Structure 1
Amino acid sequence: MSKLSALTFTKNTGVKHTATVVFFHGSGANGEHMREWVHLMAKNFSFPHIKVIYPTAPLQPYTPAGGLLSNVWFDRADISQDVQEKLDSVEKIEVEVRNLIKNENEAGIPVNRIIVGGFSMGGALSFYTGCKWERNLAGVFAFSSFLNNNSVVYQDLRNISGKRLPPLLQIHGDSDELVDLSWGQKTFNQLKSLGVSGEFHIMERLGHSINKRGMDLIKEWIEKLLPDV
């Protein structure tokens, strides 16, 4: 399994970089595509003091694509909430994500000044990251995203009651043809029942995509959680 490629596009224009946002793309895309898409929808998705990183997922066989090589964060048996997670694949990307966060720490950015988020599978990776692997993050956002039923994320959260969890911003289109709105809502409600605080916003007439209104919400939320220091 190849390592993720951390394509870093620094958009901070201030004197110093004091925080980081990591934006994970969906299955089959790449970091550069995600960056272009974000800036098409939110032309001013930049921050004076925040570096935004758009990594590219490893190229690996992807079962829903018939085993063809694809840039995906982890493999899965099917695009369904009812299948079991491929935990060996998830554990491999955990190592890469932890290294990415460690690199930011070594550059002077503490964990509580880092937000992770993503679209579709990238949002699912963000759930793993902030709700299971690194709970001291400043926040987690997810657009058109999901966790499978009985996910290990839920299982872990049941065993850590009372501990701090990063706030969540979750956004989903009501016409999503790939990840049904009910799947996104179920994920949010389950996380909330296990101690995650956050917001769930429904985008009217939006399919499996991002949009300007949703990206504006994410930008405002990031600015609130990561003020300049």
Structure 2
Amino acid sequence: MSVALDGPRIQASGGKATALVVFLHGYGADGNDLIEIGHQWRKLLPNTAFVSPHAPDRCAASPMGRQWFALASTAPDDPAGGAERWNGVVKARGAIDAFLDAELARLGLDESRLALVGFSQGTMMALHVGLRRRRAPAGIVGYSGMLVGPERLGEAKARDARGAPPPVLLVHGDRDPLIPVDALFAAADGLAGADIPTQWHISFGVAHGIDGGGLQHGGLFLAQALRAPKR
């Protein structure tokens, strides 16, 4: 049975929510790490609710933090760790899917009004889950992460009411020492090969983090993706 997730929320600024943005945090953090972005995006995304669930497992490397899955024993850019990462995202998927279903039902929204935003390990989860939902979310934003299992994108069949896959924005710092920026290009190539529309932005001089430019790109991307319900 999947662990029930929960985390900090920001209510929609205009009353009833007409869209939902879900943040998935990185390894060793928790939901409080990303929820502040929701405050920064409220003007771009009016009538949007934000939630940032805590990952289900305590993090061995940071006992005060959480993890979606244990880190692979190899470096993020080492293909040898692919099987460990794949097993990790597969195991963690169920809890996130259940959480998304519950939040959409609570707000009376459907998948066309949902967007996923991940950072680092959270990006791995946002891509894995979002591309495999029963119906496609409106968009996926991934900061400083990587695409797990690019060779398995044939199973990424999430589509919207028009039969289109969810659009993706990838943002990465060119000085990232933890997940090299090459991971962005590898992910973009993999997604393009699966006909999944992908945009990307490089934050110059930025390490493993999100700068103002990256936040602006993400907010504008989601404002476009959530502009109107897709019929």
Q: TM-score range by the shorter chain?
A: 0.7 to 0.9
- Please report how far the alpha carbon of residue 135 of structure 1 lies from its aligned counterpart in structure 2 after TM superposition: 4.8
- Please report how far the alpha carbon of residue 156 of structure 1 lies from its aligned counterpart in structure 2 after TM superposition: 2.4
1:83-126, Cα deviation, whole Å (9 max, x unpaired): 13334443332111111111123221101110011111111101
8 Å CA contact 1:4, 1:55 repeated in 2: no
C-alpha distance in 1, partners of 2:3/2:151? 23
Match of 1:30 in 2: 30
- Please report how far the alpha carbon of residue 5 of structure 1 lies from its aligned counterpart in structure 2 after TM superposition: 3.5
C-alpha distance in 1, partners of 2:188/2:143? 12
Identity across matched positions, percent: 24
Matching of residues 92-107 of structure 1 within 5 Å: 92-107=91-106
C-alpha distance in 1, partners of 2:216/2:138? 18
C-alpha distance in 1, partners of 2:151/2:64? 25
- Please report how far the alpha carbon of residue 167 of structure 1 lies from its aligned counterpart in structure 2 after TM superposition: 0.2
Q: How many residues align?
A: 219
CA distance change for structure 1 residues 191 and 16 in 2, over 3 Å: closer, same or farther? Answer: same
C-alpha distance in 1, partners of 2:222/2:177? 28
Q: Give yes or no for the alignment of 1:201 onto 2:201.
A: yes
Which runs of 5 or more structure 2 residues have no equivalent in the other structure?
none
Identify which range, 77-86 or 98-107, moves more after superposition: 77-86
Match of 1:139 in 2: 139
C-alpha distance in 1, partners of 2:5/2:199? 30
- Please report how far the alpha carbon of residue 164 of structure 1 lies from its aligned counterpart in structure 2 after TM superposition: 2.9
Matching of residues 55-74 of structure 1 within 5 Å: 55-60=53-58, 65=61, 71-74=66-69
- Please report how far the alpha carbon of residue 4 of structure 1 lies from its aligned counterpart in structure 2 after TM superposition: 5.7
Match of 1:214 in 2: 214
- Please report how far the alpha carbon of residue 157 of structure 1 lies from its aligned counterpart in structure 2 after TM superposition: 4.3
**Structure 2-normalised TM-score?**
0.83
CA distance change for structure 1 residues 223 and 25 in 2, over 3 Å: closer, same or farther? Answer: same
8 Å CA contact 2:127, 2:140 repeated in 1: yes
CA distance change for structure 1 residues 57 and 147 in 2, over 3 Å: closer, same or farther? Answer: same
Q: Which of residues 79, 88, 107 is equivalent to 2:75?
A: 79
- Please report how far the alpha carbon of residue 35 of structure 1 lies from its aligned counterpart in structure 2 after TM superposition: 2.1
8 Å CA contact 2:27, 2:59 repeated in 1: no
